[in-house]
Chains A and B, each alone.
Chain A
Amino acid sequence: MAQLQSGLRLVAIRAAGGDFELAHDVCQEALVIIIRRLRTTGLDNPATLAAFAAQTARNLVIAARRKTYRQRTDPDGDTIEAMADPRPAAQEQLAAGGIAAILKRILAELPGERDRTILIRFYLKEDDKSEICRDLNLSELGFNQVIFRARNRLRQLLIESGFDKHDLLDWESCP
């Protein structure tokens, strides 16, 4: 079941439109449903487990959306403002001590400005790999090495920071 988690998270994140919190909940719920199904009726064709897991996650996201839509209410802005949590917003907390901090560290550790540019252009600006290579006069091998090193360093730092390898995107539990 642990083998499914990573892929399931990807399915849930895309289905939830990048809502990591919803994706996290859906992922947990989907795993519970899959385990129950396997322990009760099972699957006619075990080879379809991946497809079944993916569809379960997608269905759960749709159900969660419907639920949210049904429960939608008009917010009382003044009251909400008055009851605002004085603690920093979750995003700020995350930026202060979570993945963001780790990424800042990784960026700082990069040997040169060029490597930082590669990461930012590739991941953040979503520039085409060949375009980046051409602009920076870089071979594809050189590009892959930069990405590979950054990815590995991130994995290492995440694990050092207390992330389980199965919880890479469980950002809410960032230390």
Chain B
Amino acid sequence: MSAAFALPPDDATIAAYLSNQLPNHQAEAFELYCLDHPEFSRRVELDLCIKHGLRRIGIRNVIARPVFRFPQRWSMAASLGAVLVCGLLVLLWSQRHIGLTAYRNLSEVPLQMRSGSHFDVTLLRLRGSDATHKVVAPGHSGLLTLKIFPDSAQGIQGYSADIVLASKLGSRSVVLNRLRADASGFLSLYLSLSDVVGHTLDITLTSDNGSSAPSAPAFRLQVVAATD
């Protein structure tokens, strides 16, 4: 026969007894303590009562699905709203910072941009070539002049240039109408370097009267800065 515990068994021992995990000699000692201490024994009985009662009513009945109470629902909605607003702000900010302005002639270009560094790129379309042209600009600010040689087209009075700027944050496009070729047959477009550096430009020419230019000249430029 085991000797009873000298001190009241601790919570861990009670839990072990209730789950029948005590070695036999310890369980007998525990029971002797219970027989000698009726109040303690009743406490253990209550625990046993709860344990078996919960088993009997079944866990499916006991564990209710989490209920979203009003404050929880409200806080969740508020959090979701905050996330949406932040996302919208980021989107707006990024859209605002993807600027794209193009000019038909130098006189339209703002003075501040004109006073910066100038960078000229001449694009001659090679038939069958649709490669991306990588151009290295001297810096992030200044003026980019694009001279484009359209396919020779008889009877075309003017061109429209559809310029699309693509970046990781989105895209912007601008259309320049009534572009006239100069004496040497080149069309000129003026762009801000700060708008295009680090992005890709797609430029497509169409005739002003709506029909495509004879072979729909298109160019793709990837503009990077020499300082990057």
Residues of chain A whose beta carbon lies under 8 Å from any beta carbon of chain B: 2-11, 13-14, 18, 20, 49-51, 53-55, 91, 94-95, 99-100, 102-104, 107, 113, 116, 119-120, 122-124, 126, 128-129, 144, 150-151, 154-155, 158, 165, 168-169
Contacts and interface: CB of A to CB of B under 8 A. Distances in A.
A126 B17 CA distance: 11
Interface residues of B, number: 41
B127 to A, nearest CB: 70
Nearest to B20: A14
29 contacts: A2-B38, A4-B35, A6-B38, A6-B41, A7-B36, A7-B38, A10-B34, A10-B41, A54-B28, A95-B57, A99-B49, A99-B56, A100-B56, A103-B50, A103-B54, A104-B62, A113-B67, A116-B64, A123-B51, A124-B55, A128-B15, A129-B12, A129-B15, A151-B46, A154-B46, A154-B49, A155-B42, A168-B45, A168-B49
B57 to A, nearest CB: 4
Contact of A169 (B12, B28, B48, B56): B48
B42 A100 contact: no
Interface in B2-52: 4, 11-12, 15, 18-20, 27-28, 31-32, 34-38, 41-52
Contact of B49 (A2, A3, A54, A169): A169
B32 A51 contact: yes
Nearest to A50: B35
Contacts of A18: 52
B63 interface: yes
Contacts of A144: 11
Nearest to A103: B53
A100 B45 CA distance: 15
Contact of B62 (A13, A107, A150): A107
B155 interface: no
Contacts, number: 117
Given A14-B31, A99-B56, A151-B47, 12 more contacts: A6-B34, A10-B34, A18-B52, A49-B35, A50-B4, A51-B32, A55-B1, A100-B57, A103-B53, A120-B54, A123-B54, A128-B15
Interface of B: 1, 4, 11-12, 15, 18-20, 27-28, 31-32, 34-38, 41-57, 59, 61-64, 66-67
A116 B57 CA distance: 14
Contacts of A154: 46, 49-50
B52 to A, nearest CB: 8
B42 A94 contact: no
A133 to B, nearest CB: 11
> Of B1, B46, B53, B63, which is in contact with the most chain A CB atoms at under 10 Å from its CB?
B53
B72 to A, nearest CB: 10
A107 B37 CA distance: 29
Contacts of B57: 95, 100, 103-104
A155 B27 CA distance: 24
Given A11-B35, A151-B50, A51 B56 contact: no
Contacts of A165: 42
